[in-house]
Chain A
Amino acid sequence: MSNVDLKGVSRWYGNVVAVNDVTMSLGQGVTGLLGPNGAGKTTLLHMMAGFLAPSRGSVTLDGVPTWANPAIYRKLGLVSEREAAHGFLSGWEFVHASAKLHGLADPRAKAKRALELVEMTDAQDRRLSTYSKGMRQRIRVAAALVHDPAVLLLDEPFNGMDPRQRMHMMSLLHDLGARGRTVLFSSHILEEVEQVSGTVQVIVAGRLAASGDFRTIRRLMTHRPHVFAIQSDDDRRLAVALMESPSVAGVWLGTDGVTVHAGDYGTFTRELPRIALARGIRVRRLIPSDESLESVFSYLVTA
């Protein structure tokens, strides 16, 4: 088991402050690093992974600074956001080369195990350049996992994955966390984080806005209802039906559809199809109109 510790970490580029005085400690289990685009998640991850020196403060892995210290990669795996990979190598060559570069005792067996973990054995002999985005993402995860690192950092790992791949990756991360690994993944999608991990670190505009158990933070946000715009073949009847649901706090009937204020995102989205189906109403459009995490987060910061 390994810990990543950040103490008073700031990073600026010229006049722009990307990360501002962040202190956090990551232990075993899965942690979600949540924040809107441009909040500084990638900068933070790069500092943890030793690819960027903090302008101020310290980033350590088990007490050892990560910056300019290649030895940390014995314990750390990184899946960066840029989906770059050596396209001319086959999946097997790519992962096997990673195992060899780590100086592992039995690189073949380790590469095989990593490929099985991400379910890429079938495609392992194809070149990376022929892979889909999700496959490339998985092969990069395999390469980062090949030495069974105590700490795994992933930057937007679910980008470009289809729902099935997404589910599989989520359960993979979950298992790693359950087996005592320290897993940190970044995402700007609240629901992704909610499904994989209980613990989150929320970054807004370079600052740590909230940290801890997701549900606790979420409860803080509930007096800010979720807003959905819905269009159906019978808006008025739908509005009446929705008002009966306890998950709905308010309904507004307009000329081009129904605007719903729901107290809880998950409950409402599960409820809506059930209600519509029972009344025989056809829902044509469902748009979450204040999904912008920016607003939720800025609310968090000012709270």
Chain B
Amino acid sequence: MNTTIAWITARGLFGRRRFLLLLPLPLILVGMAWLGSSIGHADDFAGPVLVGIGVAVVLPLIALIVGTGVLGSEIDDGTIVHILTKPVPRWKIVLSKLVVAFGVSAVVVAAAMFAAGAITDGVRFGLAFAAAAAVGALAYSALFLALSLLTRRPVLLGLLYVTIWEGLLGNFVSGTKVLSVQQYVVSLADRLAASDLVTGSVSVPVAAIMSTVFTVVGTWFAINRLRLFSVAGETS
């Protein structure tokens, strides 16, 4: 962890216009929960709102915007060279980026999840979703950080993972759920909330272990890729 890199990363993140995209999503989530609670019963809207919007859309999208913004955009515009021409171990660079990505997305998503959950079914429900979303934010951040170093189009690949793998296949092919961060978050939230309003489809140990695997493997992969980071020759 290097505070200077974390500081530059955070400045870059908040300085970009793309960051404004973070604002409407949590508002929609909280707004939908409020709308649901004012006209319907928690049994009817808890699943669609907290899982369908919160876990399946708001969490991955915010993690994607932030996770690819901390490193992918620097690789994209070439400013990463300024960070890399310093005698800083590569793992410190990756960890600094991960901490910022996780911190920002976790705070934004957990706050929205807590508010939406608390409106739906009380404080414990809100806290459960906030905590589970934070775990999900960590796994997603590591994944999208790794994608930033795997491809020149991390946003596209990340979107494909979220929409096709988690969104589409996750609903039809049950085996894919074991590799779906979204499912881990639902299972963890289900367990922490101890409520019947949502039910996870993977077991809690699997969710815990696989979230850790995503985080560790993603981070490890990113460190190794950054260690061998090449700048291509004359691109113009």
The residues of A that contact B8 with a CB separation of less than 8 Å are 86, 89, 97
Q: Is the CB of A102 within 8 A of B231?
A: no
Closest to B78 in A: A84
A105 within 8 A of partner (CB): no
CB neighbors of B among A178-232 (8 A) = none
Partner of B84 from A51, A82, A102, A140 at Cβ < 8 Å: A51
Q: Is the CB of A73 within 8 A of B233?
A: no
Q: Is the CB of B230 within 8 A of A101?
A: no
Interface-located stretch among B41-49, B87-95, B131-139:
B87-95
Closest to A78 in B: B85
Main secondary structure, interface of A, reads mixed
Partner of B89 from A18, A70, A74, A144 at Cβ < 8 Å: A70
Partner of B83 from A68, A72, A89, A101 at Cβ < 8 Å: A101
Given A68-B228, A86-B8, A101-B2; A144-B85 close (CB under 8 Å) = yes
Q: Is the CB of B82 within 8 A of A86?
A: yes
A143 within 8 A of partner (CB): yes
A303 within 8 A of partner (CB): no
Most buried by B among A74, A77, A97, A144: A97
Given A86-B8, A102-B87; A42-B79 close (CB under 8 Å) = no
Q: Is the CB of A80 within 8 A of B81?
A: yes
Closest to B90 in A: A70
B5 within 8 A of partner (CB): yes
Closest to A52 in B: B230
B77 within 8 A of partner (CB): yes
B91 CB to closest chain A CB (Å) equals: 11
Q: Is the CB of A84 within 8 A of B81?
A: yes
Given A89-B11, A101-B2; A13-B230 close (CB under 8 Å) = no
Closest to B231 in A: A51
B4 within 8 A of partner (CB): yes
In which size bucket is the chain A interface? 35 or more
A261 within 8 A of partner (CB): no
CB neighbors of B among A87-118 (8 A) = 88-89, 94, 97-98, 100-103
Partner of B12 from A70, A77, A86, A100 at Cβ < 8 Å: A86
Given A40-B233, A80-B231; A70-B81 close (CB under 8 Å) = no
A46 within 8 A of partner (CB): yes
Partner of A68 from B78, B227, B232 at Cβ < 8 Å: B227
Chain B: residues with Cβ within 8 Å of the partner, total of 29
Q: Is the CB of B233 within 8 A of A70?
A: no
The residues of B that contact A137 with a CB separation of less than 8 Å are none
Q: Complex formed: what's the CA distance from A97 to B4 in Å?
A: 6
Q: Complex formed: what's the CA distance from A89 to B78 in Å?
A: 15
Given A51-B229, A52-B230; A78-B81 close (CB under 8 Å) = yes
Partner of A88 from B12, B83, B86, B89 at Cβ < 8 Å: B12
Q: Is the CB of A100 within 8 A of B231?
A: no
Given A70-B87, A97-B4, A100-B4; A88-B233 close (CB under 8 Å) = no
Closest to B86 in A: A101
Partner of A80 from B4, B78, B86, B228 at Cβ < 8 Å: B78
B196 within 8 A of partner (CB): no
A165 CB to closest chain B CB (Å) equals: 21
Given A68-B227, A88-B11, A97-B8; A49-B85 close (CB under 8 Å) = yes
Q: Complex formed: what's the CA distance from A42 to B232 in Å?
A: 9
The residues of B that contact A72 with a CB separation of less than 8 Å are 87
Q: Complex formed: what's the CA distance from A8 to B156 in Å?
A: 40
The residues of A that contact B4 with a CB separation of less than 8 Å are 97, 100-101
26 A-B pairs with CB atoms under 8 Å apart are A18-B233, A42-B233, A46-B231, A46-B233, A49-B85, A51-B230, A52-B230, A53-B230, A70-B84, A73-B87, A78-B81, A78-B85, A84-B78, A85-B79, A86-B11, A86-B12, A86-B82, A88-B15, A89-B8, A94-B82, A97-B7, A97-B8, A101-B4, A101-B88, A102-B87, A143-B82
- Chain B residues near A (Cβ < 8 Å): 2, 4-5, 7-8, 11-12, 15, 77-79, 81-90, 227-234
With A13-B232, A84-B81, A88-B11 known, 9 other A-B pairs at CB within 8 A are A13-B233, A37-B234, A52-B230, A53-B228, A68-B228, A70-B84, A73-B86, A89-B8, A101-B88
